[in-house]
Structure 1
Amino acid sequence: MTLSIGGEQAMQAWERDLMWASADLLCQHGHDFYEVGLGLGLSALRIARNPATRSHTVLELFDEVEELFRARHPELPGNLTIERGDFFQRIAELPSESIDGMFFDPALDMEVWKDADLWARTMPEVVRVLRPGGVFIPFFSTKPELRWQYLPHFRTIRVHRHAYTAYDTTEYTYGTSGDAYIQCFQKD
């Protein structure tokens, strides 16, 4: 299964094991979690169903993504809330030290990823909402590079390597098999 947004591949079902590994890592760091980007809901359901999870809020920008998810999953865990909105606006509204971890996997345009000023404003807000010891886990990478957007804002970073095999039609990875890297940025 492939999720497309604006005619471009956003996520595919082969990512399940990587999303679950990211979700399981997140759940080792507390009880209250926030996720940016619903996608196919693989990580959202994994986080919400973890026995450690007290609350899990997912923020999604696109109507069609939430509609697809709700059609496939009409019964949601009681601790899972899905909200609509733009992360770059919402982050400033979240209370300080209110979550134990954030999983970050939104569909963003390339211009957004390259906007250094935007990330310089946004990441201090992410750190602000994390409790001490809380973690920020962005979606996996198929390149062994720490993401420059997040790197200056954390002192402790762990990287977990996992093998992956994508579909032959996958367009958003560097190759269709190899190693993927899950980066875990921890607030001191």
Structure 2
Amino acid sequence: MERNANGPAIELVEHDGEVTLSIGGEQAMQAWERDLMWASADMLCAYGHDFYEVGLGLGLSALRIAGNPATRRHTVLELYGEVEDLFRARHPEPPDNLTVERGDFFQRIFELPSESVDGMLFDPALEMEVWKDEALWRRTMPEVVRVLRPGGAFIPFFSTRPELRWQYTPHFRAIRVERHPYVAYDSTEYTHGTSGDAYIQCFVKEAAAS
């Protein structure tokens, strides 16, 4: 187990064919998500060439995006050094167009250049109190829109409920939703059931007026 003196315990748990990234004793990500993460990555890559991802996790989507022939540059922001260390141990030679940076998204988003990326995949490990912080999201999401190029896409972590995420909907007029079947592990705790339909939501910034 990896342990940060100033942060949560981080562990990659492999048991009975299951692979789980655990952060602070919680299931942050599991390997069964692969097809959903790949579908999200493929959707994102249809919107351009330069991409940004928040949350490295197991690196499933990061490697998929970087490996897409359309991708020129893919940058991943990860809060925890231990997560990056685990990724690099499993993938010692990542693609040349993939860069992993360290930082807190809620600070870094204000530092990113305007209209600098074609798409952003958003899948950080956040505590529930952060997800519920309405003021935080009101401050943050306009910055996400600012960083996207016109016509760019913002794709958050898939949902296993057919409802749009309130954190994002006020900031986009165009929203694309795809439904995909999923089967999680019996031990999975963060989905609504261990099988059924998952929904990938793609929020699209308005294109520049012609």
Secondary structure at 1:29's aligned position in 2? Answer: coil
Match of 1:76 in 2: 94
Alignment of 1:149 onto 2:167 = yes
**1:103-182 map, 5 Å:** 103-182=121-200
Q: Tell me the CA shift for residue 63 of structure 1.
A: 1.6
2: distance between equivalents of 1:101 and 1:63? 24
Structure 1 residue ranges (4+ consecutive) displaced by more than 3 angstroms after TM superposition: none
* Count of aligned pairs between the two proteins: 188
Match of 2:116 in 1: 98
Match of 2:106 in 1: 88
User: 1:143-185 CA distances to partner (integer Å, 9 max, x unpaired)?
Assistant: 0010000000000001000000000000000000000000000
Alignment of 1:35 onto 2:35 = no
Q: Out of 32, 54, 66, which is 1:48 matched to?
A: 66
Q: Out of 5, 26, 30, which is 1:8 matched to?
A: 26
User: 1:4-26 CA distances to partner (integer Å, 9 max, x unpaired)?
Assistant: 00111000000000000000000
TM-score (norm 1): 1.00
For residue 18 of structure 1, what is the amino acid of its counterpart?
L
Q: Out of 12, 18, 23, which is 2:41 matched to?
A: 23
Secondary structure at 1:183's aligned position in 2? Answer: strand
TM-score (norm 2): 0.89
Structure number with the higher helix fraction is 1
Higher relative contact order at CA 8 Å, sep ≥6: structure 1 or structure 2?
A: 1
Q: Which structure is larger by alpha-carbon Rg, 1 or 2?
A: 2
1: distance between equivalents of 2:70 and 2:63? 13
Q: Tell me the CA shift for residue 128 of structure 1.
A: 0.1
Unaligned runs of 5+ in 2: 1-18
Aligned-residue RMSD, C-alpha: 0.3
2: distance between equivalents of 1:105 and 1:48? 16
For residue 170 of structure 1, what is the amino acid of its counterpart?
T
For residue 76 of structure 1, what is the amino acid of its counterpart?
P
Same amino acid, percent of matched pairs: 84
Unaligned runs of 5+ in 1: none
Q: Tell me the CA shift for residue 36 of structure 1.
A: 0.1
1: distance between equivalents of 2:201 and 2:103? 25
Secondary structure at 1:92's aligned position in 2? Answer: coil
Secondary structure at 1:167's aligned position in 2? Answer: coil
